[in-house]
């Protein structure tokens, strides 16, 4: 089961929300946003839609489910509609499996057994604010299923021990990935104080109630998903705040374990504030592009909103980490810092502060999200680290790699090689300056195509650029002196509006986003900076 589009109207936080274009390749969907923004409300919408469509036991609370101030009728009246990539089994009991953020089982001790409701018919919570205690129900399900299999086999081929080993094997292995000294080894005696028992270190028969809060939280989710996945095998699994009670170092590993448990044809969707989980999800997306979709819920849902998977560039990660870490996000170091030419935000630089850094961010922010571009002054300042930017970064941010990037200007090849020999962390552009990349014919042609210009118009634009370059007082390959003229030519010939108030703003706002990895000029600039 793979989500495609969700539309929600007059439900909880949402007036008119459309979440669309979720890729069919996404095995993991991550909802990010501050507290109270609507992530849990989104899960409530999926859960309510599912209980009604699958004819499961359901309830409606006007004070909870209805959008306050809306004129809707009482009860659920198709405020939620959902489409899927693969099929339209809207009545399937398997479509969604939802866990709330409120999970707390301090103890587990079964005194008697009874026949259980099939998992596909169970509805543990009606609202995402309800306490979702799963361990006791899961224990009953495990034991009941084992007893049923014993009687149904009838030929001695099944024993409870074999069933226990088969059922708990995935849980045991997954749990040990997170807690190497914790081994699930017994269901106890189901007819007398039945509980989950473990080996922990040298302690045998370790009772469930003695686990730490984090161990219980991880065990709860791993156990529940592993057992549920046996029947929910064509499903979108939704977990609200899976990181609850877990140490930060365990949050990323838990996400990996849960993703491995969820079958390949299913999706795992979670709402989280955890920096560890968000970073783990980012690494998964970098390793397998298209496998993770990030949905940014930091919106005003009192107005119509359309959410599509966010492009996980550097600016996206800054917002996400700010949500996860608040003011500590400013201390979060990237893996690499590139100090380039330009002035920081000040009165002298005005609107064009950090111009080069902002251009590079637009061009490479998505492909290199762990790279931060910062201004370091003029070329001499950058080379000598006159302002101490590289020194301070190395002192404050352990493990960060700091490069310094300058324009080629009029340097000879011998001068460039001497600079790079003197300091291996210095990068020199292959062309004279950044303008020579952004005003390249390939980029201007892409701009003209975006504006639906015909070939004659394209040729007129490139011809005018050639004339301006020839008439400029700079060298033939120096586009900085004539950048203002080329900017005006683009506006006049292509009829551009609101494309930037001057040539530098035009470079940042209009031209930089046009560079893509399919262009030769992009490949050249990437090679000059990253050596790739």
Digit-coded pLDDT (tens) for 124-149: 776 777 766 666 666 666 666 666 66
Rounded average pLDDT over 200-227: 83
Digit-coded pLDDT (tens) for 468-512: 998 886 677 789 999 999 999 999 999 998 898 899 999 999 999
- Does the structure show a pLDDT above 70 at 152? no
Rounded average pLDDT over 156-161: 54
* Most confident by average pLDDT, 45-49, 54-58, 84-88: 45-49
312 within 8 A of 284, measured Cβ to Cβ: no
Main-chain phi, psi angles of 40, to 5 degrees: -65, -35
Sheet of 28-32, strand order:
96-99, 236-240, 267-271, 28-32, 292-296
Q: Where are the alpha helices (DSSP H) in 8-134?
A: 39-53, 62-65
Assigned architecture for domain 3-320: 3-Layer(aba) Sandwich (3.40)
Task: Provide the token pair at 206.
Answer: 């370790």
Q: Which residues pair with 485 in a beta bridge?
A: none
Dihedral sign for Cα atoms in the order 22, 25, 28, 30: negative
pTM higher than 0.75 for the full model?
no
Q: What is the dihedral of CA 152, 158, 164, 169, to 10 degrees?
A: -120
Rounded average pLDDT over 228-253: 84
Q: Where are the domains of the chain?
A: 3-320, 333-428, 435-530
DSSP assignment letter at 268 = E
């Amino acid at each position: 089961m793979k989500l495609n589009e969700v539309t929600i109207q007059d439900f909880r936080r949402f007036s008119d929300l459309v979440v669309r274009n979720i890729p069919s390749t996404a095995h993991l969907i991550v909802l990010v946003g501050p507290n109270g923004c609507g992530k849990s409300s989104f899960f409530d919408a999926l859960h309510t839609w599912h209980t009604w469509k699958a004819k499961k036991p359901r309830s409606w609370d006007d004070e909870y489910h209805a959008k306050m101030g809306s004129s809707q009728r009482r009860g659920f009246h198709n405020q939620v509609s959902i489409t899927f990539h693969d099929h339209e089994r809207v009545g399937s009991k398997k479509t969604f499996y939802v866990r709330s953020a409120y999970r707390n089982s301090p103890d587990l001790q079964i005194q008697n057994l009874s026949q259980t409701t099939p998992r596909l018919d169970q509805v543990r919570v009606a609202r995402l604010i309800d306490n979702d205690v799963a361990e006791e129900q899961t224990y009953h399900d495990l034991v009941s299923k084992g007893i049923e299999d014993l009687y149904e086999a009838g030929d001695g081929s099944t024993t409870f021990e074999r069933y226990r080993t088969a059922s708990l094997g995935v849980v045991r292995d997954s749990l040990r990935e997170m807690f190497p000294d914790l081994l699930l080894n017994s269901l106890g005696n189901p007819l007398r104080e039945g509980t989950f028992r473990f080996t922990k270190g040298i302690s045998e028969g370790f009772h469930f109630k003695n686990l730490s809060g984090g161990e219980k939280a991880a065990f709860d989710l791993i156990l529940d998903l592993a057992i549920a996945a046996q029947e929910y095998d064509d499903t979108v699994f939704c977990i609200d705040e899976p990181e609850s009670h877990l140490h930060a170092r365990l949050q990323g590993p838990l996400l990996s374990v849960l993703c491995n448990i969820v079958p390949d044809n299913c999706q795992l969707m979670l709402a989280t504030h955890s920096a560890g989980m968000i970073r783990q999800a980012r690494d998964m997306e970098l390793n397998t592009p298209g496998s993770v979709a990030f949905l940014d819920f930091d919106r005003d849902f009192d107005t119509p909103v359309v959410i599509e998977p966010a492009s996980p560039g550097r600016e996206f990660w800054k917002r996400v980490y700010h949500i996860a870490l608040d003011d500590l996000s400013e201390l979060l170091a990237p893996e690499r810092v590139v100090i380039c030419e330009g002035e920081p935000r000040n009165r002298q630089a005005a609107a064009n502060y950090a111009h080069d850094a902002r251009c590079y961010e637009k061009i490479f922010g998505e492909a290199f999200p762990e790279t931060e571009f910062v201004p370091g002054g003029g070329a001499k300042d950058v080379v000598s680290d006159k302002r101490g930017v590289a020194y301070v970064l190395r002192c404050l941010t352990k493990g960060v790699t700091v490069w310094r990037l300058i324009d080629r200007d009029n340097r000879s090849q011998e001068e460039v090689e001497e600079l790079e020999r003197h300091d291996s962390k210095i990068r020199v552009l292959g062309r004279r300056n950044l303008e020579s990349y952004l005003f390249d014919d390939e980029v201007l042609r892409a701009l003209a195509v975006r504006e639906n210009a015909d070939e004659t118009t394209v040729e007129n634009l490139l011809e005018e650029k050639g004339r301006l370059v020839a008439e400029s007082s700079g060298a033939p390959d120096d586009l900085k002196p004539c950048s203002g003229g080329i900017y005006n030519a683009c506006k006049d010939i292509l009829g551009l509006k609101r494309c930037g108030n001057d040539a530098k703003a035009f470079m940042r706002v209009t031209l930089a986003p046009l560079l893509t990895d399919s262009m030769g000029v992009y490949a050249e600039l990437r090679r000059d900076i990253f050596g790739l």
